[in-house]
Amino acid sequence: MSRASLAKHPDEVTRMFDEAAGRYDRTNTLLSCGQDRLWRARTRAALALQPGERCLDVACGTGVSTAELARSGATVTGIDRSPGMVARGAARSLDLRVGDALRLPFGTAAFDAVTIMFGLRNVVDPGAALREMARVTRPGGRLVVCEFSHPTWAPFRTLYLRYLMGGLPRIADRISSNPDAYTYLSDTIRAWHDQPSLASLIQQAGWTRVSWRNLTGGIVALHRAVAPAQGSGPPGEGPRQEPYTAPQEPRTAPRPHTAPRREPAV
């Protein structure tokens, strides 16, 4: 794929990831100055996985996110549309499969928790993927979406945008096996939902108790939600931002907030 075709065609996106698979993990860690590892660890903590629980890692890529989740002791399955990315993860001895987020090959309510890390932005119909993820999650099961977002402090946002549009593509030119994929990365990050807008999308897909917190000043946001109980009514309170305080999520459900607290759109 040449410059970001933001009207994503699934086969072109898959081909791009097939071509980037060779140096994908290393390139990401270099471009994010090692922050990608922290972001995946925070996702695992936010999911609060317990040993023996079943977790689905959608858009698992080379399995780097699946491996992080497996550290919890949960039984984790990864699925990705790119055969090249999945093949690259073969050495990891994980349950990685080739498949589409829009047609997950799993039964209804098959998982206790489901996550997608840096994948939702690449799916051609994110709303449909979120609905499909809700289908395979048991009532009361958890969702965490880890995705690039929009820094909330204007001076930091300006610096970050400079890096996204200038520094990052130049570095990727030198180290990636498919530099175009990183132009696509910059363009899709800039075009992606801000935090409140993604929270609304998740809620519209049928998830309840939607909340989010920012990581690294909002470069990344973690959106959490809960699959509705069977026969439950409308979702109730709107999405809210949470203060980020503890690295480990409590096992119990978060306390309900009376008034939604949202940050301004960026």
Binding residues for S-adenosyl-L-methionine: 62, 80, 100-101
Half-sphere exposure of 162 (CA within 13 A, CB side): 6
Name the packing angle between helices 24-31 and 168-175 (round to 10°).
Answer: 150
* 47 interacts with ligand SAM by CB under 6 A: no
User: Does residue 240 contact residue 196 with C-beta atoms inside 8 Å?
Assistant: no
> Does 4 sit near ligand SAM (CB under 6 A)?
no
Per the CB < 8 A criterion, the answer to whether 208 and 232 are in contact is yes
Residues forming a β-bridge with 117 = 146
Smallest distance, Å, CB 71 to ligand SAM? 14
**Is residue 14 at the binding interface for ligand SAM, with CB under 6 A as the rule?**
yes
- Segment contacting ligand SAM by CB under 6 A, of 11-19, 88-96, 150-158, 256-264: 11-19
| Among 47-55, 95-103, 241-249, 255-263, the segment contacting ligand SAM (CB under 6 A) | 95-103
Q: Which of 74, 123, 143, 226 lies at the binding interface for ligand SAM (CB under 6 A)?
A: 123
Residue 211 CB, shortest distance to ligand SAM, in Å, is 21
| C-alpha of 59 from chain center | 8
CB of 39 to ligand SAM, least distance (A): 8
- Given the rule CB under 6 A, which of 56-64, 164-172, 199-207, 224-232 is the region that contacts ligand SAM? 56-64
What pairing do the DSSP bridges indicate for beta strands 54-58 and 75-80? parallel
Dihedrals phi, psi of 54, to nearest 5 degrees: -105, 130
